[in-house]
Structure 1
Amino acid sequence: MQYTSTRGGVVGVDFEGVLFAGFAADGGLFMPEHIPKLNNVTLTTWRSLSYKDLVKEVCALFIPPEAIPRSDLNGLIDKALGRFRHKDVVPVSRLKSDLSVLEMWHGATHAFKDLAMSCVGQFLDYFLKKNNRHVNILVGTSGDTGSAAIESVRGIPNIDITVLLPHGRCTEIQERQMTTVIEDNVHVYAVDGTSDELDEPIKKLFGDTEFVKRHNLMSTNSVNWARVMVQIAHFFYGYFQCAPSQDNELLPPVEIVVPTGGAGNITAGCIAQKMGLPIQLVAVVNSNDIIHRTVQKGDFSLGNTERTLASAMDIQEPYNMERILWLAADSDSLKIKELMNEFNEKKGLNLPPELHIQLLQMMKSCSVTDDDILQTIRRCWEENRCLLCPHSAVAAFYHYRQFDLNQNLPRCCLAPASAAKFQDVTLRAGLIPEVPPEIEALMKKETRCTYLKKQDNWERVLREKLEAIDQKRKGNI
């Protein structure tokens, strides 16, 4: 298994190479040169596997044994997923109105990012110890990615991580999960801007190939292929948990509803589709609706980023759409390069009709308002005494709408975060938050971060910080 850039300028890269990469040197994103196709016999065999075992099977398809031997791979995944609070790792709640919710938030930071990030942290540590290397991880976050990235590598000697968060645009709990970490290898910046704006200096640094090489710079955003790879597993698990039981090898379709921001998660779903899993995908967004407009009208153009109750989805430039378009274009890298060049130049494009048709065959979409989110949180509580976070409510809204119209095929709604991280939204819905002790303890800890003003040169600050980290490390050595 080797990897290629979506824009075709970088090919033949091995798993270790893409694990330690951010964007490819040509500005594209790494994808497998071919997607494994699974037959019904394999899918039927996988039906009875636990979530943890499905992660192992999926990862083994994309990580050759010469990169990580299977026994080592199994051990890394066992260690990564061993800290989750629920024995099933990602349990399914079966609620009234036929609502099935895949709870993906039982990890350290109460968000689904823990699932992939914990595995990526183990993969990184494995290669770094093996090769006696050090890396600098640079991450931009709209909410949950930063804390999960920090949690996965905090205290690891061969890794320093620098995180940019949009100050005041995450919840207080999300910020505190990042700013209360005291390990010396963790460096946090709170910037006066949106998550899209803080991505700009990060892209510029990754575009400087000499700087990237000199500082061993990498990303664990969903730019990183390994993040997307691990997330493929929960589409298989959600499918097997929600598909009607069959006595034969027939595999009925299941609709999987994906709250969508940067589109890394639904990219994993598109790959699961390509692998032969009979799922129908629904991308559900908030009022930052670029993905909805792209799916519905072929209009892939930027708008203004609006603040919503589903703050982690307040994104107008979902970079993983490039991967989805690459899949829809049947891996036509030249076409994707042409389209992304136009997008970067004009900040928008209209998809060619044939590509738009292919995208429509891959997924449906829906846009949800803040009022819809609050009504859905209240309905789920009234029916089930179950609190949803605003991002989970985005998916549940779509289900309730279909259910009320009697369009109720088998369906699995992904719940990316715990309601405990969004207490203010729970209060706005007129309900009382449930606060776990570990979340409550965050509010008593001291915070540590550096604030960057709008007028500061964020790119220069990051360059100087990474230089200083490496100088200090060399001094320690």
Structure 2
Amino acid sequence: MKTGTTLTYLASVKHRRSNKDLISQAFRRFRHKDVVELASLENGLNVLELWHGMTYAFKDLAISCVGQLLQYFLEKRKKQVTIVVGTSGDTGSAAIESVRGVDNVNIIVLLPSGRCSPIQELQMTTVIEDNVHVFAVDGTSDELDEPIRNVFADTEFVKRHNIMSLNSINWTRVMVQVAHHFYAYFHCSPSMKETPLPVVEIVVPTGAAGNVTAGYIAQTMGLPIRLVAAVNENDIIHRTIQNGDFSLADSIKPSLAPSIDIQEPYNMERIFWLLSGKDSVLIKTMMEEFQKLGKANVPEALSTKLSQAFSSSTVNDENVIETMLRCWKENQYLLCPHSAVAVSYHYQQMDLGTNSIPRCCLATAAAAKFPEAVLKAGLTPEIPPEIRALETMDTRCTVMKRGEDWEKILYHKIEEVNALRKS
């Protein structure tokens, strides 16, 4: 995809911009000329690399687009906004990159201290632009979501300070991610001339379930795909798909794939709503029960529809290491641990002799972001200079200690950045 030049963009920034201009600008910093790339490997393994953006993760694709749309409408309406983001690893850095240095935007990011990979954390804490505010929270990604959720529930406060999110709770994120699945289908389908069109299976490493929700929406638009939600030992989505067990485990298990160490996948609410025929009363009751009790009763009819719409798989760290090592031995191809969660499913099906249809595994991050996992697999990390440089850069973040009132701190920070903006 041609991106045009930065000079052309800057010359036209004060004039009306077309959709093509916005998308071109969103992707101008991607390292691959086609933005994404399909790696066709041995034994029918197709890996769709979605990680050629600024932070080496697939979140760059959607969030870069959302960032451009946001800036366009803020300029047009002469408004300012405060973005509040909770991250398990990749969302925070992608969100920061999409708006760093933008005059009419402040962004506040909460990350789970010590639960991201060191590189993921550095990608956030080394950004020192005045509009970027990073908090390292002494808790899990689910725990830090709670004060954010409470702030967004305060509608008067949200309206007064013009607060928004760039997590996949933001519908625009999911909307852009629908394109991933069409791209995967068109590049992995054996034929576009058959009637009906052949089916392609798409395997999605799944945390908060935004990308797999986008896949389901693509499916309802008529795209002939089967969806597999691939998770690690934090397997609430797998349990829900397999037997309707939508309940929290006792704790989040830190894993080699930290970006999907999530137990409260908020996009499941969207999936339930779509599958229920948009029964808002039922889904509201279910989600309120889940928030109150840590579990919710999934009606049998809804559970059946869910298991018909999705397959799922779960793997542990040992499986992830085995998959990374096998993929290297067979292809000399390095997988990140999240992508290995998806590829592990492919190997399982291959070993069972059930490779009956084409399959595409979504690669959600580059292995370079997770050198510790690569080393555990007995392989050699390939770390680009821009990532290695993070280790020598100054860092800046504020610690939220366990026992402190995180919600109060977040309220205060939002008020502080908006007061500074007004002054």
What is the alpha-carbon distance in structure 1 between the residues aligned to residue 182 and residue 175 of structure 2?
12
The one of 183, 186, 202 equivalent to 1:256 is 202
The one of 275, 281, 285 equivalent to 2:221 is 275
Alignment partner, residue 93 of structure 2: 147
Q: Deviations over 1:259-290 (max 9, x none)?
A: 00000110100100110101000001000000
Deviation at 1:331, TM superposition (A): 1.1
Alignment partner, residue 92 of structure 1: 38
Q: Deviations over 1:84-108 (max 9, x none)?
A: 1111111000011211000000000
Alignment partner, residue 19 of structure 1: none
> Do structure 1's residue 135 and structure 2's residue 81 form an aligned pair?
yes
> Do structure 1's residue 339 and structure 2's residue 291 form an aligned pair?
no
What is the alpha-carbon distance in structure 1 between the residues aligned to residue 197 and residue 101 of structure 2?
44
The one of 262, 281, 286 equivalent to 1:315 is 262
For 1:390, the aligned partner's letter is P
Give 1:60-459 correspondences, 5 Å limit.
72-248=18-194, 250-303=196-249, 304-408=251-355, 409-459=357-407
Alignment partner, residue 65 of structure 1: none
For 1:389, the aligned partner's letter is C
The one of 384, 391, 415 equivalent to 1:467 is 415
| Secondary structure class of the residue paired with 2:403 | coil
Q: Decide whether the 8 Å contact of 1:51 with 1:89 is kept in 2.
A: no
TM-score (norm 1): 0.84
Q: Deviations over 1:58-116 (max 9, x none)?
A: xxxxxxxxxxx997222111111222111111100001121100000000000000000
Question: Which consecutive aligned stretches of 4+ in structure 1 deviate over 3 angstroms post-superposition?
Answer: 246-250
Deviation at 1:51, TM superposition (A): 11
For 2:330, the aligned partner's letter is E
Q: Deviations over 1:231-279 (max 9, x none)?
A: 0001000011001024345311100000000001101001001101010
Work out the number of aligned pairs and report it: 410
What is the alpha-carbon distance in structure 2 between the residues aligned to residue 421 and residue 438 of structure 1?
11
Which stretch of structure 1 is more off in the superposition, 216-225 or 238-247? Answer: 238-247
Q: Decide whether the 8 Å contact of 1:262 with 1:317 is kept in 2.
A: yes
Which stretch of structure 1 is more off in the superposition, 266-275 or 240-249? Answer: 240-249
| Secondary structure class of the residue paired with 1:345 | helix
| Secondary structure class of the residue paired with 1:92 | strand
Listed as ranges, the gaps of 5+ residues in structure 1 are 1-49, 53-68
What is the alpha-carbon distance in structure 2 between the residues aligned to residue 436 and residue 473 of structure 1?
36
What is the alpha-carbon distance in structure 2 between the residues aligned to residue 143 and residue 450 of structure 1?
17
Task: Give aligned-pair identity as a percent.
Answer: 61
What is the alpha-carbon distance in structure 1 between the residues aligned to residue 27 and residue 109 of structure 2?
23
TM-score (norm 2): 0.95
Kindly report the root-mean-square deviation, in angstroms, between the aligned alpha carbons of the 2 structures: 1.4
Q: 1:70 to 1:116 in 2, by over 3 A?
A: farther
For 1:343, the aligned partner's letter is F
What is the alpha-carbon distance in structure 1 between the residues aligned to residue 53 and residue 195 of structure 2?
34
Q: Deviations over 1:357-412 (max 9, x none)?
A: 11111100111110000000000011111110000000000001101112111000
